[in-house]
Amino acid sequence: MFLIYLDRCRMKREECQVESRVRENFMHGLVGEVKLIRRRSFTLIELIIVVAIIGILVSLLIPSLRRAKDISIRTACLSNQKHVGVAWYRYLQENNGVFPPVQHGWGGFDYYRSGDHVKVHWASYQVYLDEFTNNKETYKCPEDIRSGTKSPVDKFIHNYSLPSFNGMNFMEVESTDVTALAVDAGWMGLPTWAQRRIEARHLLGANVLWVDGHASSKSATSIGENPDWFTRYARYNKWTKTYDKTSVSDWMSGGPATIPGQ
Dump pLDDT digits (tens) for 79-124: 999 999 999 999 999 999 999 887 778 999 999 999 999 988 778 8
Domain membership flag for residue 81: yes
Domain membership flag for residue 35: no
Domain membership flag for residue 60: no
Structural domains in the chain (count)? 1
Domain membership flag for residue 139: yes
Domain region containing 81: 71-253
Longest dimension (CA), the chain: 142
Domain membership flag for residue 232: yes
Q: What is the pLDDT of residues 165-223, one digit of tens each?
A: 877 889 988 899 999 999 998 776 554 557 888 899 999 999 999 999 999 999 999 98
Domain membership flag for residue 28: no
Domain membership flag for residue 124: yes
What gap in Å lies between CA 262 and CA 70, rounded to an integer?
17
What gap in Å lies between CA 122 and CA 108, rounded to an integer?
10
Buried b (16+ CB within 10 A) or exposed e, 67-93: eeeeeebbeebbebbbbbbebbeebbe
Residue 157: burial class (beta carbons within 10 Å; 0-12, 13-18, 19+): buried
Yes or no: say if 105 and 123 are a contact pair by the CB < 8 Å rule: yes
Yes or no: say if 173 and 234 are a contact pair by the CB < 8 Å rule: no
pTM above 0.75, yes or no: no
Type of residue found at 48: I
Beta bridge partners of 183: 161, 208
Domain membership flag for residue 53: no
- Residue 27: band (very low, low, confident or very high) from pLDDT cuts 50, 70, 90: low
Q: What is the pLDDT of residues 181-191, one digit of tens each?
A: 999 987 765 54
